[in-house]
Chains A and B, each alone.
Chain A
């Protein structure tokens, strides 16, 4: 045990130089990416278009899902008193350093539509009462019966208040859990660990509510006529999958080349791999349930959301149909079958490969949820659906926000011990065994 502790502190000293270099590279890439995306966002908004705003939201959804997944996992492992996870937990705590930056990154996409050439309805239509909704019975948002019914909840001031609450939850829980865990490195005290368990017991509810309502506000309200009680659960499932996949990749990179060498082993991979499999099934289960209930009830005010993701006005399949198929087979069936095998979960490259695959499809899932939008035209339906055409702004936003998240994580990793040395269960975690 003491041998492990001394190796830990030497490896901190040895590797912190390299980590700082990587974090600087990530910061530079992040700032450049965000600057490019910001230019695109402003240019788009001057034409009253919201496509780059959607690029921003897709990238934002992807990275935010990963961070929220890690926040859930930290609290879950505290609540279940999971011994194996202690080594991994410090990496999650490092990632929490990105939450305040994520709050900042959300500001442009919410605020800019109000300041650039009166395009307040360009991203979220409901923000502009004079916005003319596409369709054969064209009406403005302000005269739309469905909007009027939802107005008490779906108005800009309350929307902003809610966003502030969500980030108070994420940043608050993240920094509290970090603080106690890091304090414990310098001054071991069982109360730190007890405090984290108490915080987690309350925090898991707060995180669940904040995640659900953030998914409603940021993503579901893009198409505000539609509603699904499963939507928050979908985002939770996406979060857990992205969080686990990101954890596996981070820990294995740090375990082979970085600060986790000698601490992270195949048994940790096995546990994370099992969770990846569980949440692959969970994602499929809730995504299918959402489709299945709407399909069976067959009510037009719900089915349109799936219809625009399947076909054009003339009934022919559009690009989203192929994306849907890719999600069923690529995001569920293939990871499910691959992760069933024991060897996938213990052989490092195989697990990292399938986690990279899951991340790619998580991104596609974000596209599928965020991008299809009805735009007015002369067809029989009065609208056409924005198709699956990735562009350079998507990449800029993805790389930009990712750069900031990675920078914040690496910067925190360079400052603190690679593992929570004095955690009551650290020994159990270092010797974790299937």
Chain B
């Protein structure tokens, strides 16, 4: 199969959803255009932004960092070491090697040092690992961004992630979640930093292909905590449909984002974030939230969700210690 763009070289990536196939060089052009279009459509980033890219060592986040650097954005990487035996060390190595090759040093937060490594925390308070992980990550995204003077946080969520999330939200009619699902979550006056998802138009297969062709060494193993994640069921369902009807996924998500979508108009609100948020740095201008009595972060409760979580883990840990 020949490349549909240059019509000379042999194609390396075929994309039925775009009725296209590209050689490596033309695929890079296509990929960067898709990211640029994703950023332009919702003004995710401005040229002067300082971007904190959240990297896990997986393909999406490393590819995102690579593409943003190439596009000339001022970026730094944030790696959160979740404290998962073996997996965290291996993914951290990938991030360090990727950054070093580009003259960067990632900012690292170690949850073990913060007193809340994910596996132990989940065991202590009998909560889903992914749920704890989400709360903890959001906390540190805001904290590191505020302390480091970053104007925006970028994550590597792709079209498959967002499509699966949308399907899950629709199946359960999660109106509040639907209202907050968007590639652009604006900065809130409470010190919540703007969050963007520049890869929202790009599939997992495309980021994997880009990473492979660019020689980006990413961690291919799955997070052992996420093997039973419900999002995988929704992804599976969507990929089944996508195989039969290429292009369905982008139509599904893009149609949801369309401002004329009645569902969107019915649910749209100023979007804070994916869950209860904790913000840093700017106080509570324009909102009810005050400062967390424990850590000082802006929160809608007296104590922020992160500090509450941490306290529950600490209590359970002590109880266990007393028993033994």
Asked whether A and B interact, the reply is no
